[in-house]
A and B are shown apart, each in its own frame.
Chain A
Amino acid sequence: DIQMTQSPSSLSASVGDRITITCQASQDISKSLDWYQQKPGKAPRLLIYDASTLETGVPSRFSGIGSGTDFTFIINSLQSEDIATYYCQQYNDVPLTFGGGTKVEIK
């Protein structure tokens, strides 16, 4: 199975800050990576697919970069509505696997 190591597990930042979350795959997954946002009590929402492509309707302050084994998710100018847990997920091979999640809070 492909293991997805996501860090940090939590972070606290101020409104307007730039934050980054990293995800490392245990083997080469090319660009087969999604990033999801999940708010408490809600289903996940896809933000980024193919490692760097913004899903329709997602604000442009969200972005993703990377390929192979190392990936980064960025929120430029954190907003209060971005408080959530973020997950990476690889779909290069089954079983599909998720990172452990990053809980983002406002300082």
Chain B
Amino acid sequence: EVHLVESGGGLIQPGGSLRLSCAASGFTFSSYWMHWVRQVPGKGLVWVSRINSDASRTNYADSVKGRFTISRDNGKNTLYLQMNSLRAEDTGVYFCANLQWRANYWGQGTLVTVSS
């Protein structure tokens, strides 16, 4: 059975940093691009970032470029999102996901709240 379990969310002040983790199991994690998607509760889905299977390529939404860094450790089957210089508009539930069809897996999300 596939599991994606996010952790690391919480309440953080503007300008602070957080590191999200996503532990994967039940599929060949090292074979897939992995993504982070954000959702403000009650609002829509926003793609944040992706990383390719061997971590040689990354892409970011303009809103987080230069502040967030996606990475992965295929030996630990874990995806990360380092979030620096956090802003109120970064608030939301962060999902890690494999968006590939026939392997489309999502975690349950971890809530990040940026507020003073």
Contacts and interface: CB of A to CB of B under 8 A. Distances in A.
Contacts of A94: 50, 59
Contact of A46 (B45, B46, B101): B101
Contacts of A97: 47
A56 B102 contact: yes
A46 B95 CA distance: 14
Contacts of B104: 45-46, 49, 55
Interface stretch (B17-25, B84-92, B106-114): B106-114
Size range of the chain A interface in the assembly: 20 to 34
Interface in B70-116: 95, 97, 99, 101-102, 104, 106-109
B101 A55 contact: yes
B55 to A, nearest CB: 16
A100 B40 CA distance: 12
Contact of B106 (A44, A49, A56): A44
A62 interface: no
A101 B59 contact: no
Interface in A26-53: 34, 36, 38, 42-46, 49-50, 53
Given A45-B106, A95-B61, A96-B50, 13 more contacts: A1-B62, A34-B99, A36-B45, A42-B108, A44-B45, A44-B95, A44-B106, A46-B104, A53-B101, A91-B99, A95-B60, A95-B62, A96-B35
27 contacts: A1-B62, A34-B99, A34-B101, A38-B45, A42-B108, A43-B97, A43-B106, A43-B107, A44-B95, A44-B106, A45-B106, A46-B101, A50-B101, A56-B102, A89-B45, A89-B47, A91-B99, A95-B47, A95-B62, A96-B35, A96-B50, A96-B99, A98-B44, A98-B45, A98-B46, A99-B44, A100-B44
